[in-house]
Amino acid sequence: MAHPSQLGFQDAASPGMEELIHFHDHSLLIVFLISTLLLYIITAMGSTKLTNKYILDSQEIEIVWTILPAIIRIMIALPSLPILYLMDEINDAHLTMKAMGHQWYWSYEYTDYEYLGFYSYMIQTQDLTPGQFRLETDHRMVVPMESPIRVLVSAEDVLHAWAVPALGVKMDAVPGRLNQTAFIISRPGVYYGQCSEICGANHSFMPIVVEAVPLEHFETWSSLMLEEASL
């Protein structure tokens, strides 16, 4: 969960998000070095260091300005490729879910179970109990921790986006199209997100709440939900 005046990312709750944070720090260091170099050049332009004819017409300098950007691109590309494959690779998912965006709420369906599904509406501010966050919903998406989870994302009406920052997940929900994403939650907890696509008047009122629990607790929860659905 985000904190007031927070400048950095939320604490990572998945291996994918941990890698994204490391890549962000790596890229930020490169940007800092480039900015320092440019600042030095701008500062030195007023002196004779960079204004003499030898520097301005030097072939060696031209070679450096050509090769250096290529090296920088390689330094950024190489760490990013494994992350892209890690986030795109979906093998042997233990649980598959379908998240459907509506105006303006989400519905979830556990495709491995025949009758396990529900709608998830935002709890109105006047109905919140002490200690609850504004993004709380009446039904949370409950998943087992330390298990590969596949989420199929689509929409019924307009464009939406299913995004949970702490999990490093953001996937567009497009009407008539089925996108998929995957994640593994490394620790128990409750993780909040929101629709990240401007989808209409109540765009800010369709939050996402994912609760990660141990596998045995998930099995108990799913059994209770199936019993309620059969009544």
Mean pLDDT score across all residues of the chain: 87
Q: Would you place residue 46 in the very low, low, confident or very high pLDDT band (cuts 50, 70, 90)?
A: low
- In the prediction, which pLDDT does 38 show? 81
Q: What are the φ and ψ backbone dihedral angles of 104, each rounded to 5 degrees?
A: -135, 85
Q: Would you place residue 31 in the very low, low, confident or very high pLDDT band (cuts 50, 70, 90)?
A: very high
User: In this predicted model, what pLDDT tens digit does every residue of 91-122 receive, in sequence order?
Assistant: 788 999 999 999 999 999 999 887 899 999 99
pLDDT at 52 over 70: no
CB 136 within 8 A of CB 123: yes
User: In this predicted model, what pLDDT tens digit does every residue of 144-175 receive, in sequence order?
Assistant: 999 999 999 999 999 999 999 999 999 999 99
Other Cβ atoms closer than 10 A to 87: 19
CB 204 within 8 A of CB 105: no
User: In this predicted model, what pLDDT tens digit does every residue of 81-98 receive, in sequence order?
Assistant: 888 887 777 778 899 999
Mean pLDDT on 188-207: 92
- In the prediction, which pLDDT does 152 show? 95
Separation CA 141–CA 143 (nearest Å): 7
What's the predicted TM-score (pTM) here?
0.83
